[in-house]
Structures are given as C-alpha cells and as structure tokens.
Chain A
Amino acid sequence: MRGVFVHASPLPGFGPALGLTLAWVSVIVLMPLAALVMRPWSLGVGGVLASLGSARVLAALKLSFGASLAAAALTVPLGLLVAWVLVRGRFPGRGLADALVDLPLALPTAVAGIALTTLYAPNGWIGGLLAPFGVQLAYALPGIMVALVFAGLPYVVRTVQPVLMDLPAEVEEVAATLGARPLQIVARVVLPALLPALLTGFAMAFARAVGEYGSVIFIAGNMPGLTEIAPLLIVIRLEQFDVAGAAVLALAMLALSFAMLGAVNLLQHYLARTTR
C-alpha cells in the first residue's frame, strides 16, 4: 500500500476505506458502464453503423441534441437574469424565490412532466391562452423546449450565483469612478467576469437536457421522426428486445455528449488563458 502513496499520512483507515470505495464504485458504476461500452460491438462495426444510420435514429438524435443546445442557450440569459436579481436585488420574498430555483432539481421528473403537459395543453392555463392564436405548445417542439428550459434553469442560476456573489465590488466601483454608466459596467466589467460560469452553466444545462426523459415524454407527443427524443427511442428498442440496438444508441448519445462537453471545456480553457 505504501508504494501507492504520494504522501504518507498519519490518518487511519485508508486501506479499508479505499477497499470499500473501490468495491462500491466497481459494482455500481464501472461494471455497468463497461457493459454499455462493450455491448454494441456484438453487432460488429457494420452493425453499429447500420443501427445508427436509420432515419428514425438520426431524427431522434437531431431532436435531442438540437433542442438541448437551443434550450440551454435560452436558459443562459434567463438564468443570468434570475441569478442577478437574487444576488443584487432587495425585495420581500427573495429568500423564498431563491429556494424555489432548486425546484426543478428536487421535483420528480414524472411530476414535472404531467404538470407541464397540463399547463401547456390546449385546454391548460397557458396553452389555453395561446390556442386561439393557433400556437400549439404541448405535443410539439415548443413544449419540449419549455420542459428542457425548466429542467436546466437551476444549473445556470446555481453556477452563476456564487461567482456573482464573490465579485469584488471594488472593480465596479472603480469603473464608476472612471465614468462608466451602470449598463456599461454590466456589459464591460461584470459579464466578462461571469463568462466562465455562464459557459459552465450552459454545459450543465445542456447535459441535463440531452438526457432528460420524464419531464419531456409527457409533453412531447413522441411521434417518430418528429417529436421523438433519443432516450425514448432507446426505451422503445428495449421493449422490442433490440438490446444491442438500444446499447448502440445509448453509447452514441454518451459519446456525442462527451464530445460536446469536451468542446465546451476547451472553450473554457481558451477563455481562461486569453483573459489572463
């Protein structure tokens, strides 16, 4: 054991704790993921490509990733607005509003799913308002977007909030003494400082949106090729006993997600370097 240490410690319990941890991680995380990585290849590379190449799959992937990107992009300014008001606003009920932000994280997705559907259905509180104008929200793309923004909002807010809170007031005060107007200070001093957090929030909201299932399937309509999200297609393939096919799609989703998150990560590093 000693050789594994970088630095020996007087604290006890490393051996047993590490042993327990490795067993726990291996059984619950590593083993299942290994199965996922390996299973698709039982079809052979050709089989994998065929499984991915169908129009239905491509439509589902396009929908999931496209809608998630758009929703995450939309969530960023909304989340920034909310975070800003929570940190710098002074109004009664601020604490309550702050606690409410976490609701999409704490609320079971099935509950959110049926609630959103009821809300935006043609006879719902909001759907009913827009129906006379011919705007359909539920069972269509807008409904999916709403559900994804709902799911992603806390990620942006909670990532931006601490950074906003820690921004030293002195920097903005200096800008004011140099003659900048409030909006200029926001645009030129504060927002650039928040950019890394906004990017992180975007990435997290995107990751959540791509995999989101419960909040979306009730409101989506689930029509193949149109409003069928990728996770649903995985479930459908499983129900058709196409286990390998389901695994192929799942692995493709994971790979695409990691690729996109990697890209965001690179962007963050680039930003960090150029703003030094």
Chain B
Amino acid sequence: MTARFPPVPVAVVLAALAVLALLVLLPLAVVFAEVLDQGIGRALAAFDDPESQAAIRLSLLVAGISVPVNTLGGLAASWCIARFRFAGRGLLLTFVELPLSVSPVISGLVWVLLFGAQGWFAPALDRLGLQVIFATPGLVLATLFVTFPYVVRQLVPLMLAQGSDEEEAALTLGARPWAMFWHVTLPNVRWALLQGVLLLNARAMGEFGAVSVVSGRIRGQTLTMPLQIEALYNDFQAPAAFSMAALLALLALVTLAAKAALEWHTRRAPDAAWVPA
C-alpha cells in the first residue's frame, strides 16, 4: 500500500462504513442482541433440548465427513490440474467449480433426482433397503456437492504460482513420490490448505438450502443446525432459534478471524479466489 494517493475524504469513509454497518454489522448485532435480551442463562438452556443437541451432533457429523472427503479429493484434483498439462484440463476445472454456480436448492434437488422415491437409483436402493434422501447420507451428499470446490480454489492458484521447481529438486535429490509430497508439496501449501478446510467446514455446517431439500425435516433425526433454527423460528420459538443462530454466528466469526490471521501470516491480500461462485 502506498501513501501516494490523496487521502480519501472523511465523508466518503464514513459513507462506506455506514454501508458496512447497515448491511453487514447490524444483522450480526441483532443475533447477539436477541440472545443477550433473553439473558445468557435462558439462551444456554435452549441447548438442553434433545432435538437441538441432535441437530448439533448431526451438523458435526455431516461436516466431519464432508471435510476429509472434499479435502482429499481437492488435493488430488489440485495436483493434477496445477502440475500437469493434459487434454481436458480446463474442462475438469470447470466441472470442479460448477457447484459454485448452482443454487443451493438445486444442489439438493439433484440428489432427490438420483436417490429419491422416483430417482434413478430408487429401485436399487429399495432392494438394498437403503435410505438416502430424508436420511443422513442425503445430507452428506448435498453438503459434499456445495462444498466441493473450496479446497481446489485455494490450492490451484497457489500451486501454479509456486511452480514445480522445488518438487523437481526433491526428485533429483533422490526423494520418492510420497517423500516429495510430504516434505515439499504439502508444507508449501499448508496455509492455503488450512484456509480451504476452514471455509469448507464453515459452509458445511451452515448450509441450508441444499440440506433443506434432502432433509425431510424429521425432527430429532434429519435436522442440522440451520434447519433446526428454521424449525424453531417458524414454531414461534424465536429465542431458542437465536441461541442456535448465535452459536453458528460465533463459528462464522472464528472462521473469519482465522482466515484473516492466515492471510496476514502469508502476507497475501484478501483475494477473490476464495469467494464462492
């Protein structure tokens, strides 16, 4: 950043801050205000509800599966796309990023088309007695779809910028493939990878539209935290809804703080690369 520009007029700065405050800060403040309004004690009591506890467990489970699967897949895809040139590479990258352009509702719908009552695999599922839609597997699949590209989006630009010299050097020094990955490739991308994982996790736990479609909303069984919030809110249990919302808002804040810390650590500007879609 240079100090060569004439300073931005105070009025302009205030206008921008007003926009941010109005649009972004206020909604966040409302969530915590509602919680504080009811008192911390009553807010925490909302989590004694077994259905809410089940929702939290389910969210953790779904995220707990989505994060490793999409991280591993993301690593493999990034390795192919960033380090090799092959026919169809651009197409592959487009497909990897496709979920970002798809509405969350559609991201859930596609799984109903495959595994729902009239879906492609419905007969097979019936025979095996498996339930995907309106059950946890459906939630996981929908979440996998919407969080698909997060790791790839972080890693590919970085790996392209870094080039493969260090990895080639490792090879000439006698390193076998896994030694090269472990000692050279992964350490060089670890912060970007961590950022990708953090964002993946935040999205996995906060996803609403896609899981809402596949969920069936069976209370105590197929409601993740966001769905539980909706259920409570529509049930006129706004305080309990806001308690859970505050928990997710805290997670969002922690994610943002960690992201900012990682960016500062790697001294990169906040870039558009992580912006979904």
Residues of chain B from 205 to 245 with CB closer than 8 A to chain A in the complex: 205-209, 212-213, 225-227, 229-230, 233, 238, 241-242, 245
- Beta-carbon contact of A108 and B252 below 8 Å: yes
Question: Does A143 sit at the interface, judged by CB under 8 A?
Answer: no
Question: Does A198 sit at the interface, judged by CB under 8 A?
Answer: no
- Given the interface pairs A28-B141, A231-B103, the reply to whether A11 lies near B28 with Cβ below 8 Å is no
Question: Does B124 sit at the interface, judged by CB under 8 A?
Answer: no
- Beta-carbon contact of B112 and A238 below 8 Å: yes
- Beta-carbon contact of A173 and B4 below 8 Å: yes
- Given the interface pairs A36-B113, A110-B226, A159-B275, the reply to whether A85 lies near B245 with Cβ below 8 Å is no
Residues on the A chain within 8 Å of B181, using CB: 13
How close is A178's CB to chain B, nearest CB, in angstroms? 16
Chain B, interface residues (CB within 8 Å), range? 35 or more
B269 contact from A25, A35, A155, A161, Cβ within 8 A: A161
Tally of A interface residues using CB under 8 Å: 103
Residues of A within 8 A of B (CB): 4-7, 9-14, 16-18, 20-22, 24-25, 28-33, 35-36, 39, 78, 81-82, 84-91, 95, 97-116, 118-119, 124-126, 146, 149-150, 153-155, 158-159, 161-162, 165, 169, 172-173, 182, 204, 207-208, 210-214, 218, 231-232, 234-235, 238, 241, 243, 246-247, 250, 253-254, 257-258, 261
Residues of B within 8 A of A (CB): 1-8, 12-13, 15-17, 19-20, 22-28, 30-31, 34, 69, 72-73, 76-77, 79-80, 83-87, 92, 95-96, 98-99, 101-106, 109-114, 116-120, 141, 144-145, 148, 164, 167-168, 171, 177, 180-181, 199, 202, 205-209, 212-213, 225-227, 229-230, 233, 238, 241-242, 245, 248-249, 252-253, 255-257, 259-260, 269-272, 275-277
